[in-house]
Amino acid sequence: MTKRRSNNRTGFTIVELLVVIGVIALLLGLLSTGLTAAGRKSRQTRFLSDLKQVGLAWISYANTYEDRCLPGMLDPGTQSLWRVRYKDKSGNQIAQANAATYPWRLLPFMDYSFPLLYDYLEIDLPEFNDGNPTGLQQVVATQPAFGYNAVYLGGWWTTQPSGASQMLYGMGGYLTNNNVTVRGGLVMTSLSQISHPDTMIAFSSSFAATPGLYKEQEEHSVGSAWVVPHRMAKTLIWDATDGTSFESIQASISTGDALGIVSSFDRTIADATAQILGGSSIRTGGNAAIVVYEQQAVPFRRLSNTVQLLHADGNTNVSMLNELMNQRKWINAAYRGNFEPEMFEHEEVVNAGTSGTVIGN
């Protein structure tokens, strides 16, 4: 009698183990992607919520000071001329250099809620809890997560050799859609002057950039206290790009310079930028990109490929870089200009001898 050999087995073959491991890895990958997306969405919501609170403080400032917009820049000479002093929550005076940008002037209207502007830094700042970050005045002044549209809202005020305080582009001229040259009206110094507050950018996620091509950007890169449109006066500052090499873009700009097409950047704001920002570099791999031609504070894609925005009416949203090349989102006068919205430009003339108004104490 022939005995039949049993085919029962208790283990797995190598192929079966590999299949199981592959399925588990796939599921873990899907789970990780889902968790990453959920985390990004949560951070996006938090950033927009923080921006909303900044907007309420900004509007509260205007309501307190007879509808006037928060000034974008007050250099030390202007602060002395206007006889304004700024203090922290404990009553200690803020150094004039640190009160030049908006944070220390807006924080009193935010009840000194530092996390709204600085949580992104992910550093331990225990002093922030009592509203008196000892030794961190400059960090507060220069590194908020959101930059203010400081040139075209409130005004960029600097002291001239004559001793007068002048507002950048205060009397800059531009052509209207009727081909009439108009001077002034480029900078909105009160909320009521803003004709389209629902589209006017008041604050944007921003960073200090040196000339170069920036692709995927690091979420925790240092922010800036202001942000500028892609074109200021007649100078191209930055551009949205599909990732063309910076060398070829720079070559085209150099050619434009040689032909007299590209004008020099206004030294007043350029010098202040060099002193306060110092610049940063975050050039890594990626597709969508921003190319920067002049050292400046430009829109920042802190999460994914979108820029977080706060509009003058208090509403928030996110935007792609190419959408921010519409000058009407930055400059009120662009609605009346005879250029295409993306190409709107103006002269660099300043309002010589303009006197300031006392704002804050």
Tell me the domain boundaries of the chain: 43-343
pLDDT 10s digits, 120-146 = 887 666 556 666 676 788 989 999 999
Consecutive H or E run containing 159: strand 156-159
The residue that leads in pLDDT, 196 or 14, is 196
Q: Which residues pair with 316 in a beta bridge?
A: 310
Answer whether residue 361 shows pLDDT above 50. Answer: no
- 73-74: strand order across its sheet: 73-74, 156-159, 165-167
Residue 51 burial class via C-beta count within 10 angstroms: exposed 0-12, middle 13-18, buried 19 and up: buried
Tell me, what's the pLDDT at 72? 96
Backbone angles phi, psi at 292, to 5 degrees: -110, 130
Mean pLDDT, all residues of the chain: 80
How far are the Cα atoms of 149, 246, 276 from residue 142, in angstroms, in the given order? 14, 27, 7
Would you call 204 helix, strand, or coil by DSSP?
strand
Residue type at 236 in one-letter notation: L
Kindly report which listed range (5-9, 82-86, 200-204) carries the lowest average pLDDT score.
5-9
- pLDDT category, 52, cuts 50, 70, 90? very high
Half-sphere exposure of 143 (CA within 13 A, CB side): 19
Across the range 90-96, mean pLDDT stands at 91
Tell me, what's the pLDDT at 244? 55
Tokens coding 134: 């000892």
